[in-house]
Every structure is written in C-alpha cells, then in structure tokens.
Amino acid sequence: MKYIFLLFTTFIFAQQTQFVDFKSVSGQLSLNAKEKSVSGSVDYQFEILKPIDTIKLDAKNMEFSKVQINDKNVVFINTGKQLQIISNFIKGENHLTFEYAVKPKQALYFVDIENSEVQIWTQGQGRYTSNWFPSFDDVNEKLIFNLGISYDKQYQVVSNGILKEKKESENVFHWQYEMEKPMSSYLLMLAIGKYDKKGLTAKSKIPLEYYLENKDANRFEPTYRYSKRIFDFLEKEIGINYPWKIYRQIPVRDFLYAGMENTTSTLLATRYVVDSVGFEDRNYTNVDAHELAHHWFGDLITAENSTHHWLQEGFATYYAALAERAIFGDDFFYAKLYDTAQQIKFASRTDPYPVLNAKASSLTFYEKGAWALFVLHESIGDKAFKKAIKSYLKKYAYQSVNTENFFDEIKKVSDFDLVQFQKTWLESTAFDTPTANVLLSKNKAVQVRLEVDKLKKTPLAEKEDFLKKTLESDVYHTVKEAVVDQLENEKYDAKKALLLIALQSKNVQVRQSVASSLTKIPEDFRMNYETLLDDKSYQTQEIALYWLWKNFPEHRTEYLDKSKNWIGFNDYNLRTMWLSLALSTADYSNNPEALISELIAFSSTKYEAPTRQNALEKLISFKIINDQVLSNLVNSTTHHMWQFSKFGRDTIRLLLKNPEMRASFERILPNLNPDEQFQLNRLLKE
C-alpha cells in the first residue's frame, strides 16, 4: 500500500495547480549570519478550485510551528521535503499561516568578509528556493510575493519589488518589499550587504538602481557603462514596456553564475565589477542585457518545462546580441554569430540532444536557440517578427508557455514554414551551415573571415600576401585575430613580418592574440613583444609578463620592477602572477618570506573563490607548497561554488599521485575542520 500512496500523492502534487490557486504570500523574515539560518512567519492566500484533502508546499529540511488555516490549527505533515496540510478543503478563499526555521544547505549563502562583515544572497534558479523559503518547485505555480526582512541597520537589504517601508527598531532595520504581479518561486530573492547605490531613470520613467560595494564606488561608470542604454533599447526593441515597477542590479561575492534574473533585482558576479582597463577584457554588457531580457522572457512569461527552456535562454541570448549590436555595431554582432556557429557545429559532432530536449546543453539552449531566432527574424522580416513578439508577450503575460504558443503568434503574421523550421533548428542536432553562411555573408567582415578560414591548410607562402593585406586593412579585429591564430604553428622567420604588422594594430584584442600565440619569443622580437606590457589590458599584461619572464631570464629583474605595483582585475590576477614570478627569481627579493605570506594569503578564505584559485594555481605551479597551502587547497573542496570545489578536488587528486604529497596531506588531516576532513578522507581513499 505504501507504494500506491506515494504514487498517488506524487500525482496529486503534480496536478495541484488544477485544484488550488495560490494567489499571494507575505513572509516576515529574520536572518542570523552566525548560525547561517533564516526564520519567520508566512501567510499564503489561496483559492480552492476543486475539493481536495491535501495541499503541499515544497520545503527542504525546515521546522514548522503554528500551522493554521483561516486562523485555526490544522493537521500537517513535515516530510523534510514538503509541508503537507491535511484537511477537507472545499471551494473558496483561504489563508495558510505558519512559522518556520531552517539552516539552508543551498540556495541561500552567507559569505564571510573581512572585519566580521558578511554578504547574504540567494540563487533559486531551477528548484532551489524551497531550501530557504517554503514555496513551489513547479514553475507553473505563479503568485505575488511580498517579503519583509529584518537585519542589522548597517547593511542594505534588497528583495523583489518596490520598497514600501523601511523602519528602524534598535540596531535593526525592517525592510518591506512588495510585488504587484505574480511570478514563479525560483525568481524570489534577497541580497544583504554593505553597498553604495546610484539611481537613474529610464526613458519610460522606470526607476533604475545600481549597487556596488563601498570599496568599488569609483568603478561605477565602467561597470554599468551601458546599463541604462540597454534598458531603453530593449523596451523599444521588444515593443512591450518593462513589465515590473523597478529594476535593480546588485553584485555579490562568490556568485555561482554570471548573473541571475530575479524579478526586478538581478544579481551578478563581482568579476564584472571593473575599472576602465578591466572593461576591455571583462565587461558586463552582454550579461547585463541577457539578464534584463529575461524580465520579459522568463519572468513575464515562463517556459512550462525544461523541454521549452530555449524560450527563455535562447530569447535572452538573442536579445542580448541585438542590444550589443546597437552598442558595438554590425561587425560585432555578426562576428559573435560566426563564432557561436563554429562552436555549435563542433559540438554537434558528439551532442545527442537538440534544442527541444530537456537534456540539451547550455550551448544548445542559449546559442542555438538564439541562432534559431535569428534565422526566423531574418526569414519573416523585422515588422512581422516584432508584431508576433508583442502579441506573444501580451497574450501570455504572467503565464507559462511552450513552443507551440510562440509559433501560434508567428503563424498570425507569416506563412513561413514552421514545420521545417522546427525540424531543422529545434529537433535536429545538426547545424544548418548553408543557411547560416548565407545570412552571415551579408556582413563584409564575415565574408573576409570565411576566406581566411578556407586557407587554414594552405601553405603560408601561398597565402602570405592575402594575410598581409587583411592585417593591413580596416577589417574588423576578429578577422585579424583569426589570421594571427593561423600563424601559431608556422616557423618564426616565415611569420615574423606578419606578426609585426599585427603588433602595429591599435586594437587590444589583435595585440593580445599575438601575445597568446607566440610563447617562444626570439631575441630579435623581444623589444616588440615588450610593448605588450604597456597595453591597457590586464589579460594581455598577464600573458606578456609570464612569457617574457620565461623566455628571457637575464631581463627578469627589469620585468619584475616594471610590474611590481600591478594589481589587475578584482581577482588580483597580476599581483598573484607577480608574486609567483618574484619568488621564482633567484636573489630578487630581500624578504621572500613576506612575499610567500602574501601569496598564500590570497589563497585563504579572506578572498573570493576566483582570487583563491588564481593564487593556488600559481603556488602549486611554481612549487611554493607548505602545510598552509595544502590546508587552503583542502578548504576549497568545501566551497559552495562548484567550479572552485571541483578545481580543489581535481588538484588534490593530481598531488596525491606523489607519495611525499600524500604524506603531507595525511599529516595535516587531524588539524582540519570536520567538513575538510570528510572531503580529504574521501580523496585519500579513492
């Protein structure tokens, strides 16, 4: 009977939206950074559509008390995954109230900062919000969220919607946020930190708020350089006004992804907080446009299941590309389409899943989905495409959608063969290269790029004149980068003249391609290569510094003196590189212990994961390894960022192949905390 009961309740939950319509929820929350916990009271307003005996909320590892329906105690079951309320529910309006407490295992993160400060933020994408707030893993259950959060008054607190009230009580502020329209639970958010805020206003009068940590206040302009322009562009391009009352952007430390489109309040990774030099290599423009586009495609209308995920990611990717086209021009737009086409074609050799498959890769959902929209847009024309998009968004606003819903709106404006389109672009893993090349060839820079790529296997002597002419022309920089890439495996004497022409370019990316491609630098090219150290690019400077140091030992002191005050991005890429090179240069430093301490400190928990990984990679690569380094490496395996924890595990596995390293890890084991011991023990036993 147990198996029948489980099957029955699962079925009922999957169909709950047919029986129960949750309208709104108000939560009053308190957070405890020391305990890494959240607690509060919750009030759900809902309507019973058909009689039912059990209603359910997703709630992971929570404790509940004072559970009531319409102010009366009610029988409930806490499964550890769900709160199930049992009653004889009949048609009509109701409200469910309860108190809860939880120490979330994921989805709500407490990031410690120096001086006992903290950042707290959420990431609910997928089915994770129910780890910190009792809600719904089903994206089709949309409701109005209103959150009140009480926290230390020294901090800014942000959630979804308009800030309705901010009250002080002792050393605490209570922040009350309210939404007016419904959304899926995965878009619920909160962020807490010490921030400066700058406000602007869109052409449509929507308030725009941009946040930065206090220490980064002078990076506002390059970080958010095109943010308002992107907002104004997307409203006009999409043809439907931004569907919410306010828009915010908040950088948070050790974020899991590039950004997340929480309704009204996008979170972004701090790697995109840059100065004017960092902007050249690592700017926020694309992510900015992508997350904002999601506020229409994802937040306003939501794909009903993963099979139709391209309706969110493909659309956000495509509209981000259109925004970048408006900012950076046609050559940028077509060059990016060309590059993604190459990626998709390469992946299609082994990728078994097309766009309309829940198991499709990110490349497929995002880039091939965007390519499908580009083809459709070009095929039916701009006027028809925009008319269909407007109709689609208006018809399904605040609802869930599937691909057929979108196609129904296309059919109203065009007789384009959607059946064949779906087979070619959404149901096939192959990439339609002929169609793509026809569309790409509308751009002159891509025409030249295609000619360059055709010459990959042609002997250099036979193509040298064409490559020289291309490098000397005013063609878009990605074409020149492709020329430099082709030269990588050619003999130096044969390619020297072409490399010198490439270095004469004022374009940072073209010069950076020379830096990357020439790892063995002949003496007669040294002074030319040294000019790369002065480029306004932290990435180029890092590449050039390393290869010059490696190729010319007799000039190491000169290079280190020149770069001793470099910092780089906010992950300290140049500083950690300099420290590792200085420590590996005989007799350079009078105080190597201080340099070692500084580099090891960068690998500690005082810094964000990218900085720590930078430092650990360099410490291990240059064999600057002691017990503290190994302890910091083991700690990385416990980090919430899967990319960083994976790096830690993979690095330890490599080191454990060395018997001396294995002995060192075994020696430090007793001094680690329980989580670190668990991870290291597991690796030692592999």
- Kindly report, residue by residue over 194-204, the tens digit of the pLDDT: 999 999 999 99
Q: Number of C-alpha atoms within 13 angstroms, CB side, residue 455?
A: 22
Whether 284 maps to a domain, the answer reads: yes
194 in Cβ contact with 185 (< 8 Å): no
Q: At what angle do helices 460-472 and 492-503 cross, to 10 degrees?
A: 10
- Kindly report, residue by residue over 112-154, the tens digit of the pLDDT: 998 889 999 999 987 799 999 999 999 999 999 999 999 999 9
Question: Which H or E run contains 49?
Answer: none
Indicate whether 99 and 157 sit together in one domain.
Answer: yes
- Kindly report, residue by residue over 299-314, the tens digit of the pLDDT: 999 999 999 999 999 9
Indicate whether 114 and 231 sit together in one domain.
Answer: no
Whether 422 maps to a domain, the answer reads: yes
Look at residues 234, 259, 294 and tell me which one is the last residue of a structural domain: 294
Whether 416 maps to a domain, the answer reads: yes
Domain hosting 285: range is 194-294
What's the pLDDT at 387?
98
Indicate whether 175 and 27 sit together in one domain.
Answer: yes
Whether 642 maps to a domain, the answer reads: no
Indicate whether 94 and 28 sit together in one domain.
Answer: yes
Indicate whether 307 and 423 sit together in one domain.
Answer: yes
Q: Is the pLDDT of residue 170 over 90?
A: no
Whether 560 maps to a domain, the answer reads: no
Indicate whether 415 and 454 sit together in one domain.
Answer: no
- Kindly report, residue by residue over 16-73, the tens digit of the pLDDT: 888 999 999 999 999 999 999 999 999 999 999 999 999 999 999 999 999 999 999 9
- Global confidence as pTM: 0.95
Indicate whether 437 and 447 sit together in one domain.
Answer: no
Q: What is the mean pLDDT of residues 561-579?
A: 97
Q: Is the pLDDT of residue 456 over 70?
A: yes
> Quick one: which of 346, 345, 334, 599 has its CA closest to 479?
334
Q: Is the pLDDT of residue 465 over 70?
A: yes
What's the pLDDT at 125?
86
- Kindly report, residue by residue over 273-326, the tens digit of the pLDDT: 999 999 999 999 999 999 999 999 999 999 999 999 999 999 999 999 999 999
DSSP code per residue over 466-517? HHHHHHHS---HHHHHHHHHHTTTS-HHHHHHHHHHHHT---HHHHHHHHHH
Look at residues 441, 462, 497 and tell me which one is the last residue of a structural domain: 441
Structure-token match 């995965």, residue found: 186
Indicate whether 318 and 430 sit together in one domain.
Answer: yes
Whether 603 maps to a domain, the answer reads: no
Q: Is the pLDDT of residue 267 over 60?
A: yes
Amino acid at 624: I
What's the pLDDT at 12?
43
What's the pLDDT at 1?
33
178 in Cβ contact with 146 (< 8 Å): yes
DSSP code per residue over 623-672? T---HHHHHHHHHHTT-S-HHHHHHHHHHHHHHTTSHHHHHHHHHHGGGS
Whether 617 maps to a domain, the answer reads: no
Order of strands across the sheet with 156-159? Answer: 108-113, 117-122, 190-193, 156-159
DSSP code per residue over 510-558? HHHHHHHH--S--GGGHHHHHGGGGSS-HHHHHHHHHHHHHH-GGGHHH
Indicate whether 231 and 248 sit together in one domain.
Answer: yes
Question: DSSP letter at 440?
Answer: H
Tokens of 408: 């129904």
The CATH number linked to 42 is: 2.60.40.1730
Indicate whether 437 and 450 sit together in one domain.
Answer: no
What is the rounded distance in angstroms from the CA atom of residue 87 to the CA atom of residue 69?
9
What is the rounded distance in angstroms from the CA atom of residue 513 to the CA atom of residue 18?
57
Three-class SS state of 37? strand
Look at residues 294, 322, 354 and tell me which one is the last residue of a structural domain: 294
State how many domains the chain has.
Answer: 4
Indicate whether 80 and 175 sit together in one domain.
Answer: yes
The CATH number linked to 422 is: 1.10.390.10
Indicate whether 349 and 451 sit together in one domain.
Answer: no
CA end-to-end distance (rounded Å), the chain: 41
Whether 530 maps to a domain, the answer reads: no
Q: Is the pLDDT of residue 494 over 90?
A: yes
What is the rounded distance in angstroms from the CA atom of residue 492 to the CA atom of residue 505?
19
Look at 1-10, 341-350, 448-457 and tell me which has the smallest mean pLDDT: 1-10
What is the rounded distance in angstroms from the CA atom of residue 686 to the CA atom of residue 680?
10
What is the rounded distance in angstroms from the CA atom of residue 513 to the CA atom of residue 550?
18
Question: What confidence category does residue 10 fall into, taking pLDDT thresholds of 50, 70 and 90?
Answer: very low
Structure-token match 């409701």, residue found: 143
600 in Cβ contact with 558 (< 8 Å): no
Nearest-5° Cα angle at 527, 525 to 529: 65
